[in-house]
Amino acid sequence: MGRPRRWAEDMQARFPAGTFKRIKDVLDQATSASLLVMNESFASTTLHDATFIGERVLDRMTELGLLGVYVTFVDELASRNDACVSMVGTVNPDNPAERTFKIVRRPADGLAYAAAIARKYGLTYPQLKERLAV
């Protein structure tokens, strides 16, 4: 029984003070007439923590029946329940580092195109190695 509590305390310590209270306060005040927008709210944490927290937030949003936009890198959350609609940002198929800014309704595909973006900005391992060579 002590393990889950310890994990929850550790998780709270990894976020700025008051983060979870603010989220709880927003959800406590929300109604079915509310619009809630959350943009990569848990991107700075582990995948496990982001999934754990995201599931609870999405479940509460669904219970309330509010309209929401929940932007996340956690693909599993896009299909959390029937109320969730997956929308995906598209890229130029000839150049995955180039965003089109077009959003389409389709299942999340797990592609973040991080390698293409890193290459575009000279941040791949070989690029960094060459640039930092003495």
Residues 67 and 108 reside in one and the same domain: no
The secondary structure of 50-113 as a DSSP string is HHHHHHHHHHHHHHHT-EEEEE-S-GGGGGSSTT---EEEEEETTEEEEEEEEEEE----S---
When mean pLDDT is compared across 6-10, 85-89, 103-107, the lowest value belongs to 6-10
Does 43 lie in the same domain as 10?
A: yes
On whether the CB atoms of residues 73 and 40 are closer than 8 A, the answer is yes
Are 4 and 54 contained in the same domain? yes
Q: What is the pTM for the complete model shown? A: 0.75
Are β-strands 95-105 and 87-92 bridged in parallel, bridged antiparallel, or unpaired? Answer: antiparallel
The model's pLDDT over 26-54, given as tens digits with 9 standing for 90+, comes to 999 999 999 999 998 887 788 888 899 99
At 70, which CATH number? 3.40.50.300
pLDDT of residue 6: 66
Query: Domain of 96?
Result: 88-134
Asked if 79 and 107 touch (Cβ cutoff 8 Å), the reply is yes
- What pLDDT is stored for residue 120 in this prediction? 86
